[in-house]
Amino acid sequence: MVAYSIYVVDDDSDMREVLSLALESKFQVKTFSTAGSAIEVIKDDPPDLVLLDIGLPDMSGVDALREIKKLHPEALVIMVTASTDIDTAISTMKLGASDYMTKPINVEALEVSVRNALDRIRLRKEVQALQEKYLKENIPCFVGESNAIQDVMQFVDKVAKAIDTPVLILGETGTGKELIASAIHYKSPNFNGPFLTLNCSAIPKDLIESELFGYEKGAFTGAQAAGKKGLVEQAADGTLFLDEVGDLSLEAQAKLLRFLEEGEYYRVGGTKKLQIQTRVVSATNKDLVAMIEKDLFRRDLYYRLAVIKVEVPALNNRRDDIVPIARHFLSEFGNKHGKSFTGFSLETEGYLKNHQWQGNIRELRNLVERGILVGPGPELTPQDLGLEGGFEGVSPQSAEGDSGTPTLPDEGLDLQALEEHYLREALTKAGGNETKAAKLLRMSYYSFRYRRKKLKDLQA
């Protein structure tokens, strides 16, 4: 087991020696006489803990604390000073110091303070390990190394750190929008709280309000005698995922907007104003901007839901990830159905890579489960998956020059330039309307936006 690392920053050589001797038997200790020298090392090699003197020659310990926290917000810092000024202690704690000690240092008290700080690190790392384990085992849309999904993963890491900021997830059907929402939840500080889902298209419009906000006793015919908590209340200190949010009625949209802006709501049939902290993550495969123009979706709600937008790429836009995701499902369903397969044949992998995935990851998941159930093994074949002759798409043989099929020139081609050319032409023919341009290219609005975003400086 690797020992924890501690940096001691103090201009007093005797103090550095005392602290080093007290800690080096149990920890890896480095000492620094100035804040600047310590910060230079911390940039590339952050420690687990910093013991930071307030009275340093090159900058104050308070300023050094700010710099360290700017470089590594999760860094644990214990301030050390000869002063007993309580205002200084309070100011450093507000800036993120984990503790404050005065000289002369009591070695036993120091060990307790250091141990308490390192226990926080240990717990944080255990939580991170549990989060990563959950994501690896349960979020197949995060499998893969394509630039498309790596960009989403990195963005989700940033988004998840907020506790209550709304997030709108955009993407085609079957791309894993609910899985992205759960990833945001399980990477967040509130991951121990509930994660609840409401499919807005599956609930009758006259019941959606009571599902969201609950109702009081006798609120309507058929209501439970004791009343009922709504999902925003059940998901307190956690996350409520609103799938197909574009299907909400305008009345429900107005009440959702009030909750998002004020954190307040009323149960159906109630007069008592209630307050709760619940993060709302929503998703849709619809063009909400177009719906706004048709007065089908509230503009103010859109901007509130879309404080942060996550655009999930279609599976056809991340073909390098198709086989790894399929292998993930092969393992999942092999274990579920008690069957063992060595993998996919090379021919099957060719079909998987070239198939047009209109149903995205959901379609791939269903195909692999079908193959597990009907395939004799040891490898899954195109016939097992129902890919050969039964689906629209491009087979591995279609690049051999069949009549009417484009072939790759012997000298090769610039695929990015070709894609940019057709995107520009579609935009021109559509008069700059992205929705129409996407239809001309037979792709979804979000796939078009994703491709256009990747091609920098592309203009209509």
> Is the per-residue pLDDT at 56 higher than 60?
yes
Distance CA 440, CA 437 (A): 5
Which amino acid appears at position 239 of this protein? Answer: T
> Residue 139 contacts by C-beta under 8 Å, 6 or more apart in sequence?
176, 179, 180, 182, 183
Q: What is the pLDDT of residue 406?
A: 59
Binning pLDDT at 50, 70 and 90, where does residue 395 land?
very low
Backbone dihedral region for residue 26 (phi beyond 0: left; psi -120 to 50: alpha; all else: beta):
alpha
* Burial tier of 447 (Cβ tally within 10 Å: 0-12, 13-18, 19+): buried
What percentage of the chain exceeds 90 in pLDDT?
Answer: 23
Q: What is the pLDDT of residue 444?
A: 67
Q: What CA dihedral angle connects 243, 245, 248 and 254, to 10 degrees? A: 130
103-119 residue pLDDT tens = 888 888 888 888 888 88
427-447 residue pLDDT tens = 888 888 887 887 788 776 666
The pair of three-digit structure tokens given for residue 141, joined into one six-digit string: 């849309």
Q: What are phi and psi of 294, to 5 degrees?
A: -95, 10
Distance CA 341, CA 350 (A): 18
3-state secondary structure of 59: coil
Binning pLDDT at 50, 70 and 90, where does residue 392 land?
very low
**Rounded average pLDDT over 267-287:** 87
> Is the per-residue pLDDT at 453 higher than 60?
yes
CATH annotation of 318-400: 1.10.8.60
Distance CA 386, CA 371 (A): 8
**Superfamily for 5-127?**
Response regulator (3.40.50.2300)
Q: What is the pLDDT of residue 219?
A: 63
> Is the per-residue pLDDT at 85 higher than 70?
no
> Is the per-residue pLDDT at 456 higher than 80?
no
Distance CA 310, CA 177 (A): 9
CATH annotation of 145-313: 3.40.50.300
**Rounded average pLDDT over 211-228:** 72
Distances (CA, A) of 332 to 182, 215, 324, 444: 19, 40, 13, 29
Q: What is the pLDDT of residue 138?
A: 60
Question: Which residue has better confidence, 118 or 241?
Answer: 241
Distance CA 440, CA 458 (A): 17
> Is the per-residue pLDDT at 410 higher than 50?
yes
Distance CA 440, CA 423 (A): 10
Alpha helical stretches, state H, 263-411:
288-293, 299-305, 322-337, 346-354, 360-374, 382-385
Please give the mean pLDDT across all residues of the chain: 82
